[in-house]
């Protein structure tokens, strides 16, 4: 009898991604060089992918640094490829400037620009169309957590913001409780595990094998001091880091959770 066909693909490495938000100018490029130098040291060899998502203005100058071991991502893209959309940036433009990924549906975009799941879903499609990895964010507000709606909220966001053909190769989920972002507050490891387990189950139900391998990042007040504990939680496959990604020292300290 012929051996059963192997259909399972290898799970991607964990991802540690830095979200610089609206911070950084060309004066900040030195931090990326420092980070690449630190990552190159043997004792820091991390078993994860490392990425920085700077403001779009810094993608091309960062690419020009050729910082080894540091991938680049955007922070948002328009759903269309090009056209009359003043101030917007398309997925193809991000790719052209050096990005291999883009954060989509971050809670700050959902709050500041009233982005809906439907719009986020269209952006995920645009990212895939341009060959970018979509890092799609979900997360509950403090009010929603307090009223016991966390799982309902994040599962609805997950359902509404992804299309059916997402794979582990082109999509990453980031769970970011809104109340933990930039606040210094983090959920307990039990709370993180509860949400990540629920997201994993929903992903497997919808995407099968691909859903089993899709990375689920935790984000919200991750620092060098709490990274190892959070990264050890089952179904946490990396992190999306805001404030602590702005300096090579702190971001490097977080990457060390995987060294």
Tokens of 57: 């203005």
| CA dist 88 → 92, 102, 213 (Å) | 12, 14, 32
| CA dist 229 → 52, 96, 186 (Å) | 22, 37, 11
Residue 186 in contact with ligand PGA, rule: CB under 6 A? no
Catalytic residue (one of 106, 128, 140, 210):
106
DSSP string, 234-255: TT--EEEESGGGSSHHHHHHHH
Reply yes or no on whether 176 is catalytic.
yes
Reply yes or no on whether 106 is catalytic.
yes
Of 41-49, 153-161, 176-184, 228-236, the segment contacting ligand PGA by CB under 6 A is: 176-184
Instruction: State the minimum distance, in angstroms, from the CB of residue 219 to ligand PGA.
Output: 4
In the shown chain, the binding pattern of residues 229 to 258 toward ligand PGA, with x for contact by CB under 6 A and - for none, equals -----------xxxxx--------------
Q: Of the candidates 241, 78, 232, which has an alpha carbon nearest to the alpha carbon of residue 174? A: 241
Of 36-44, 109-117, 194-202, 218-226, the segment contacting ligand PGA by CB under 6 A is: 218-226
- Beta strand 49-53 pairing with 71-74: parallel
CA–CA separation, 51 and 251 (whole Å): 10
Residue 30 in contact with ligand PGA, rule: CB under 6 A? no
Closest residue to ligand PGA using C-beta atoms: 242
Residues at the contact surface with ligand PGA, assessed by CB under 6 A? 19, 176, 181-182, 219-222, 240-244
Catalytic (active-site) positions:
106, 176
């Amino acid at each position: 009898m012929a051996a059963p066909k192997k259909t399972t693909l290898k799970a991607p490495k964990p991802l540690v991604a830095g979200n610089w938000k609206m911070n950084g100018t060309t004066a900040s490029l030195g931090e990326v060089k420092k980070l690449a130098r630190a990552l190159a040291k043997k004792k820091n060899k991390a078993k994860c992918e490392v990425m920085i998502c700077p403001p779009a203005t810094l993608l091309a100058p960062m690419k020009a640094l050729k910082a080894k071991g540091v991938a680049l991502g955007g922070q948002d893209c328009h759903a269309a490829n090009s056209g009359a959309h003043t101030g917007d940036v398309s997925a193809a433009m991000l790719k052209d400037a050096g990005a291999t990924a883009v954060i989509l549906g971050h809670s700050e975009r959902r709050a500041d620009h009233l982005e809906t799941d439907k719009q986020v879903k269209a952006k995920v499609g645009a990212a895939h169309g341009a060959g970018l990895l979509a890092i799609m964010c979900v997360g509950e507000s403090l009010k929603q957590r307090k009223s016991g709606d966390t799982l309902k909220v994040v599962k609805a966001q997950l359902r509404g913001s992804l299309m059916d053909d997402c794979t582990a190769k082109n999509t990453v989920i980031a769970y970011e409780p809104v109340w933990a972002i930039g606040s210094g507050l983090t959920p307990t490891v039990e709370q993180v595990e509860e949400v990540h387990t629920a997201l994993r189950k929903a992903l497997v139900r919808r995407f099968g094998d691909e859903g089993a391998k899709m990375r689920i990042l935790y984000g919200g007040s991750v620092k060098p001091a709490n990274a190892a504990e959070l990264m050890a939680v089952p179904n946490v496959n990396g992190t999306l880091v805001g404030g602590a990604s702005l300096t090579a020292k702190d971001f490097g300290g977080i990457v060390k959770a995987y060294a």
